[in-house]
Amino acid sequence: LSMTKIDSSLNDSLVLQSDLANEVGTGLTQTPKRLPSRFFYDDEGSRLFAEIMHLPEYYLTRSEYEILDTNQAELLRLFAADGRPFELIELGAGDGLKTKILLNHFWSQQADFTYVPVDISQAAIDNLTADIRKKWPQLAIQPRHDDYFNAIEQLSNRSDSLQNRPRLVVLFLGSNIGNFSPTEARDFFRQISQSLQPGDLVLTGFDLQKHPAVIHAAYNDRQGLTRAFNLNLLRRINRELGANFDLSAFDHYEMYHPETGEARSYLVSQKEQTVAIRDLNLTVPFGYGEIIHTEISRKFTREGIAQLAEQSGFELTNWFTDCKHYFADVIFRK
Ligand code: AVI
């Protein structure tokens, strides 16, 4: 994985900061320039993404909402099979909008489970926890402010013995996997697979290939929220690394390539300019129209998903899709 390993003995934000510094240093001195999309999610970026999920063009969230809503009973049956209690570990929980459908159903059915939301944004995790405690005061919740990779690593270091341990159900919703390269995606699922025991499950979301215009519009919304989300990365670098990006001198550009299934986001320099990044002691020249590649949002085929399951040590046991076949939520069984 390209994710830098994080030394847990050090202060969280400090280490994440140096991770940002390293990646900005390498990403902006190479050609073409690039910045990893995982840095989108500071508190402002997480807030903007939560707004994006309500956009009319951003069909992903509605499609997945429909899938979870339609299949909540079946999902509980799978998660609680053999009457075993289960632990619902949600990687990148955000505002938990879609997960709340499941929590509501599981709670009403008196399911025996604990909810473990994990998110890199402290504000997101605080808001989600407060909201859940208000809605379901008795629901067992163990919130974690952490990154996915740390959280997964901890799974395998659990102290509870295998016989007594609840079934682990890892939720990785919203096509987050689409933001990984194919190798990263395979390694990510392999790492999860190695931390799980037979019978444990992963419920994961994949955005499917469809009419390219539908996908293109989802990343070019008319309100300009995706644009603000992309540009916020520069604002973050200004704030956290003392840079002087002029946000009005960069534009948002998105393209979807139907042959590769990749939607790619770029920031485009609207003029020749030089940006200084104080904490890196670095000046970065930009040519007129030069791009920074900031994100890939990969769209999948059913064959591609089945192959990913197989390559990472899982069996694809259940396939759920919305009525338009835009999105799929899939169960990978260890
Ligand atoms: C979080 N991730 C799945 C989103 C996506 O669709 O790739 C992030 C996003 N980028 C632009 N709009 C939404």
Nearest CA to ligand 1 atom 1: 176
User: What is the secondary structure of 237-254 as a DSSP string?
Assistant: HHHHH-B---GGGEEEEE
Ligand 1 pocket test, candidate residues 297, 299, 329, most atoms within 8 A of CB: 297
Bridge partners (DSSP) of residue 331 are 203, 318
Q: What's the CA gap between 99 and 115, in Å, rounded?
A: 10
Find out whether the beta carbon of 178 lies less than 6 Å from any atom of ligand 1.
yes
User: Rounded to whole angstroms, how far apart are CA atoms 1 and 183?
Assistant: 8
Among protein residues, the one whose CA lies closest to atom 7 of ligand 1: 297
91 C-beta closer than 6 A to ligand 1: no
Q: How far apart are CA 91 and CA 171, in angstroms?
A: 6
CA 297 to ligand 1 centroid distance, Å: 6
In this structure, which residue's CA is closest to atom 9 in ligand 1? 49
For the record, the structure tokens of 297 come out as: 């949002």
Tell me the mean pLDDT per 10 residues along the chain, length 334: 34 57 97 96 90 96 97 98 95 87 96 94 90 95 88 75 84 94 94 93 98 98 98 98 98 98 98 98 98 98 97 97 98 97
Residue of the nearest CA to atom 3 in ligand 1?
Answer: 176
C-alpha–C-alpha distance, residues 23 and 324, integer Å:
38
Q: How far is the CA of 25 from the centre of ligand 1 (A)?
A: 24
Ligand 1 lined by 174 (C-beta under 6 Å)? yes
Residue with CA at minimum distance from ligand 1 atom 4: 176
Separation of alpha carbons 79 and 73, rounded Å: 10
DSSP string spanning 286-321? E-TT-EEEEEEEE-B-HHHHHHHHHHTT-EEEEEEE
What pLDDT is stored for residue 11 in this prediction? 37
The answer to whether 201 and 167 have CB atoms below 8 angstroms apart is yes
- In angstroms, the Cα distances linking 166 to 43, 63, 158, 243, 333 are 32, 30, 11, 47, 15
Read off the pTM: 0.90
Ligand 1: which of 54, 172, 175 to mutate, most ligand atoms within 8 Å of CB?
Answer: 175
- Residue showing tokens 């690593």: 153
- b/e map 211-225, b = 16+ CB within 10 Å: ebeebebbbbbeeeb
pLDDT of 3: 36
State the residue for tokens 């995606």.
Answer: 185
Q: Judge contact between 253 and 247, C-beta under 8 A.
A: no
Q: Which residue type is seen at 238?
A: N
Cis, bond preceding 285 (omega within 30 deg of 0): no
